[in-house]
Chain A
Amino acid sequence: MTGNPFPKFRLTGLLLLLLLAFLLDLSTGTIHIPLKDIFRVFFSPSGADPTGYFIVKSIRLPKACAAVLAGCGLSVGGLQMQTLFRNPLADPAILGITAGASLGVAAVMLAGGSMATLYAIKELGVTGSWLVITAACIGAGGVMVVVLILSRRLRDNVMMLIVGLMIGSLTLALVSIWQYFSNPEQVKEYLLWTFGSLGGVSGSQLSILTLVILVGLIVCVLSSKMLDALLLGESYARSMGLNVRSARTIIICSTSLMAGGITAFCGPIGFIGIAVPHIARSLFNTSSHRILIPACCGIGTILLLLCDTLAQLPGSQTVLPINVITSLVGAPLVIVLLLRQTTAHPW
């Protein structure tokens, strides 16, 4: 609120960095495409090299867009969870939504493991399959419904946090049982899915994911005043006229929608959700959600685009799983930021 003038310059700077990271991500890969060719793809398609045009338009551009969407959704979801639960370790996966998506995928890949399913997965790629996406959506949605029903019954956000964690472990236990009784090849397919991938989202899938993330972000922006009030804890929030239960439902809906959608389309991507809110608070030095939400979108997107660039291992043919890179890059970044802070306890 006041005392926090809108940091136009820093947000604009973030936007410029984001554009740079976006272009960098488009130009790196197994085939290096120089920046000027990328500009040509966008501004004079006729003059572009057809191979490069195809690679950028149908492979790298959707992948970079998926990175933008996932970066925004995961970091804003993490911010919402950290504020709602007043816990610096909360992330979008904390309510078990991600685990629910995993359960859906595991059900298809491991138990349903008929030849037809496996064939479909092989044909369409692990993450690109509508079957996998639908299964993940059903799993995430199922857990979200359970969480919301429980959320209406619980008074306390701390209890909600514990219940969310329990649902998460319960769901993952079911996945483990399935893994235990499945043959190694099926388990490997599932494991590949858990590494996450931004590359499998294309065409109509991208539009659906865009819609899901947009709805989640709009809900989050509309609830930014509630999030500010929740910083003071539930009693104070209630004394200022906030209906804590409705606020919790709205915030959980927004986060679940984004986290569930991203996990369904890209597989589980860890670390962005937990790290980016900390980076945003540290860089923008504020607690106002009106500023933190766009800041998280920017930082999350930049981080995920850079991670994706690194995952291509510039100059090599290998592609590392995105889920590994986010932790490799994110963890040291958070440690450095915490060490740089002169005052103790960012929380």
Chain B
Amino acid sequence: MVNTVPSLLSARDLRTGYRSGAKRIVVADGLPELRLQPGQLVCLLGPNGSGKSTLLRTLAGLQPALGGTIHISGVERWTPAELARKISLVLTDRVRGNNLTVGSLVALGRYPWSGWLGGLNAADKASIAWAIRATGIGPLLERKLHTLSDGQSQKVMLARALAQDTPILMLDEPTAHLDLPSRIRLMRLLHQLARETDKGILVSTHELDLALQIADEVWLLQTGGQLRSGAPEDLVLNGSLESAFAEEDVAFDKVSGHFLIYTPQDKPVRLTGEGIAFVWTRRALQRAGYEPVSAAGREPGASAGREPSASAGREPVSAAALHIRVEERQGRTVWLLERGAETGEFDSIQKLLQAIARK
């Protein structure tokens, strides 16, 4: 299927970096072939300093590649003015006030299409109106840029890029500075745009959770400049994600698709039960420094509700001195703690944790 649809963008043997006088500082070298298809949302992931922005800026034509070729719609050489009709950008650069209103900023997106004095025709105005509708910034049009919140500001910059009406849209860390709901909304909007407008969208982001959920393809940059691409699920399953962030002292949990804040410890606790209460008990125990192990002989996924226990079978259950059972009694959740012959009963996770700590 990939071969029947022409690529919007393809890059081969790309080497990214900077020229500084005669010196060349290479950021990433020998990148595999990268392709962006119409209607596809690609997330560019990678730790800080892995060269995400450099790659994005190179693909966008803002800085020259140190080697390799980039084809846009099958053509390699573009003048800046032609390229501006192919690729629009949302950058991390903060656009300051300058007395600029939201309306004028979005209208500036028509720059590559408008006349030599910047006059706008009906087609320009239609594009602007569509961009404003798609991003829902209608109520902000008269506002000055410096009065916007970070979330509003990001939407406005997206509207400007949409007004530019290009087949390719690239965004450099658009979710930085946004709160969680805004991040989700923005990513969902990008997902919708890719589906509905057939644009090829490339987003560099740190939002691993969100990227894994919505990306059609993930380009995973590693510190040192290697890049692996594939469906997000494939990258989780083949361990690429784990190894990309391995140098940092945080662990990626393949099962939940999250990064773990705590460092895994070796205090085994036997945990049995089911449902959502089981999942959250497991998390609480992990936070408190325990390694929850499920009962031996059980199918891990069967009892653990939607989220099976990650460490099932890894630790010998017999090594656990504690056994915690999560039970449902008359619509209430009860936690039973067995320590040798003793048995305690608790009605909240907090009390359970206090009891364990007291031992």
CB–CB B146/A286 < 8 A: no
Report if A238-B80 is in contact (Cβ < 8 Å); known contacts: A1-B114, A225-B118, A232-B105: yes
**Cβ < 8 Å to A, chain B residues 103-150:** 103-105, 107-112, 114, 116-118, 120, 125, 128, 141-142, 144, 146-147
Is B2 at the interface (CB under 8 A from chain A)? Answer: no
Is B60 at the interface (CB under 8 A from chain A)? Answer: yes
Interface string of A227-256 (1 = CB under 8 A from B): 011011101101111110000000000000
Query: What bracket does the count of chain B residues touching chain A fall in?
Result: 35 or more
Report if A1-B108 is in contact (Cβ < 8 Å); known contacts: A235-B62, A240-B84, A290-B118: yes
Q: Give which listed residue, A242, A243, A285, contacts B99 with CB less than 8 A.
A: A285
CB–CB A239/B60 < 8 A: yes
**Interface-facing stretch out of A142-150, A190-198, A338-346:** A338-346
Cα of A83 to Cα of B112 in the assembled complex, Å: 20
**Interface-facing stretch out of B67-75, B86-94, B313-321:** B86-94
CB–CB A281/B99 < 8 A: yes
Report if A3-B141 is in contact (Cβ < 8 Å); known contacts: A86-B96, A241-B80: yes
CB–CB B103/A2 < 8 A: yes
Cα of A290 to Cα of B119 in the assembled complex, Å: 10
Cα of A154 to Cα of B95 in the assembled complex, Å: 22
Question: Main SS of chain A's interface residues?
Answer: loop
Is A288 at the interface (CB under 8 A from chain B)? Answer: yes
The number of residues on chain A lying at the interface, defined by a beta carbon within 8 Å of a beta carbon of chain B, is 33
**Cβ < 8 Å to B, chain A residues 191-242:** 222, 224-225, 228-229, 231-233, 235-236, 238-242
Report if A224-B83 is in contact (Cβ < 8 Å); known contacts: A1-B108, A2-B104, A232-B108: no
Q: Give which listed residue, A2, A228, A236, A241, contacts B83 with CB less than 8 A.
A: A241
CB-defined contacts of A9 to chain B, threshold 8 Å: none
Question: Main SS of chain B's interface residues?
Answer: loop
Is B164 at the interface (CB under 8 A from chain A)? Answer: yes
Report if A225-B93 is in contact (Cβ < 8 Å); known contacts: A3-B103, A241-B83, A287-B104: no
Across the two chains, which residue of chain A brings its CB closest to B100?
A287
Across the two chains, which residue of chain A brings its CB closest to B91?
A235
Is B183 at the interface (CB under 8 A from chain A)? Answer: no
CB–CB A236/B93 < 8 A: yes
CB–CB A229/B146 < 8 A: no
Is A4 at the interface (CB under 8 A from chain B)? Answer: yes
CB–CB A240/B107 < 8 A: no
Is A347 at the interface (CB under 8 A from chain B)? Answer: yes
CB–CB B101/A240 < 8 A: no
CB–CB A239/B88 < 8 A: yes
Partner-A contacts on B (CB < 8 A)? 57, 60-62, 79-85, 87-89, 91, 93, 95-101, 103-105, 107-112, 114, 116-118, 120, 125, 128, 141-142, 144, 146-147, 164
Partner-B contacts on A (CB < 8 A)? 1-4, 83, 86, 222, 224-225, 228-229, 231-233, 235-236, 238-243, 281, 285-288, 290, 343-347
